[in-house]
């Protein structure tokens, strides 16, 4: 069996054990649905503008949280040692864990998109860009969640650590407010945020337009963030899980 097949085995097991459980699926859907419904009731014309942001926010919170919870839980129960004792490289383990978390994020966001499309008429101008945005966003945020999980011992510590990074991102990344309406000094900060680029790629997928002009800048930025998050997660797994 190849390393990829073994990573897929890890993912399949995680989906079976954690991500396919009804409470997690409803947890992933309930918050964004309610939030979008509230925005829709307030402004039935303007709600579409925040759809990409809320979908990206769903990925940010869902993926970072779930990846971190699963790894922290497995550290506590000792089941992560099972993986570390198997003849797998750390890259295979990280890939397996990230794929399952990312699959959860993509599926949740797709279900949400289908609901929004069918019930509230959300458009889908460039399906490929939309799915690519979901996949890249889910991958980046899952890897950040994994990286946070190995730095701490308890789930609440992981959440606290992640919140230091998630809430500022929400503020600067054009989730609720288009980038071009934000104060000028925020713009460079926004460009450095991975969430901004996920939002803009999703915006391109839904409406065929983006505050960054087209899909290529957000795509390139997301790809770069994915590589950086991958390197960070693998390095932290190697350094923190094999004790020195």
Residues that bind other proteins in the complex, under the rule CB under 8 A: 1, 5-6, 9-10, 13, 16-17, 77-79, 81-89, 242-244
- Name the residue nearer to other proteins (CB basis): 12 or 208: 12
Q: 63 to each of 100, 173, 222, how far by Cα in Å?
A: 10, 17, 15
Q: How far is the CB of 130 from other proteins (least distance, A)?
A: 33
Q: How far is the CB of 29 from other proteins (least distance, A)?
A: 22
Q: How far is the CB of 138 from other proteins (least distance, A)?
A: 23
Residues 96/9, Cβ–Cβ less than 8 Å: yes
Residue linked to tokens 């402004």: 43
Residues 171/179, Cβ–Cβ less than 8 Å: no
- Name the residue nearer to other proteins (CB basis): 111 or 235: 235
- Name the residue nearer to other proteins (CB basis): 1 or 41: 1
Backbone φ and ψ for 178, nearest 5 degrees, come out as -60, 150
Q: How far is the CB of 80 from other proteins (least distance, A)?
A: 9
Q: How far is the CB of 31 from other proteins (least distance, A)?
A: 24
Residues 6+ apart with CB under 8 A from 199: 52, 53, 56, 173, 174, 175
- Name the residue nearer to other proteins (CB basis): 41 or 242: 242
Residues 209/178, Cβ–Cβ less than 8 Å: no
- Name the residue nearer to other proteins (CB basis): 104 or 219: 104
Residue linked to tokens 């409406």: 207
Pick the closest to residue 61 from 138, 136, 148 (CA basis): 138
- Name the residue nearer to other proteins (CB basis): 17 or 209: 17
Angle, alpha carbons 25-28-32 (nearest 5°): 135
Q: How far is the CB of 70 from other proteins (least distance, A)?
A: 12
User: Residue 189 has which token pair?
Assistant: 């900060």
């Amino acid at each position: 069996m190849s390393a990829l097949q073994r990573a897929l085995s890890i993912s399949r097991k995680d989906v079976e054990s954690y991500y396919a459980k009804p409470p997690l699926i409803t947890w992933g859907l309930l918050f964004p649905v309610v939030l979008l419904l509230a925005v829709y009731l307030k402004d039935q014309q303007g709600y579409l503008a925040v759809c990409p942001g809320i979908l990206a926010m769903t990925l940010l919170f869902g993926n970072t949280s779930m990846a971190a919870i699963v790894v922290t839980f497995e550290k506590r129960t000792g089941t992560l040692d099972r993986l570390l004792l198997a003849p797998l490289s750390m890259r295979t383990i990280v890939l397996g864990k990230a794929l399952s978390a990312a699959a959860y994020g993509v599926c949740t966001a797709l279900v949400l998109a289908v609901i929004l499309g069918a019930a509230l008429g959300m458009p889908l101008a460039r399906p490929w860009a939309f799915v690519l945005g979901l996949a890249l966003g889910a991958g980046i945020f899952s890897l950040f969640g994994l990286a946070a999980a190995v730095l701490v011992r308890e789930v609440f510590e992981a959440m606290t650590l992640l919140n230091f990074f998630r809430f500022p991102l929400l503020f600067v990344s054009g989730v609720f407010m288009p980038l071009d309406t934000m104060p000028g000094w925020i713009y460079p900060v926004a460009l450095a945020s991975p969430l901004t680029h996920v939002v803009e790629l999703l915006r391109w997928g839904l409406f065929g337009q983006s505050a960054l002009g087209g899909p290529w800048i957000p795509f390139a930025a997301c790809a770069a963030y994915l590589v950086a998050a991958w390197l960070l997660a693998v390095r932290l797994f190697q350094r923190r899980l094999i004790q020195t």
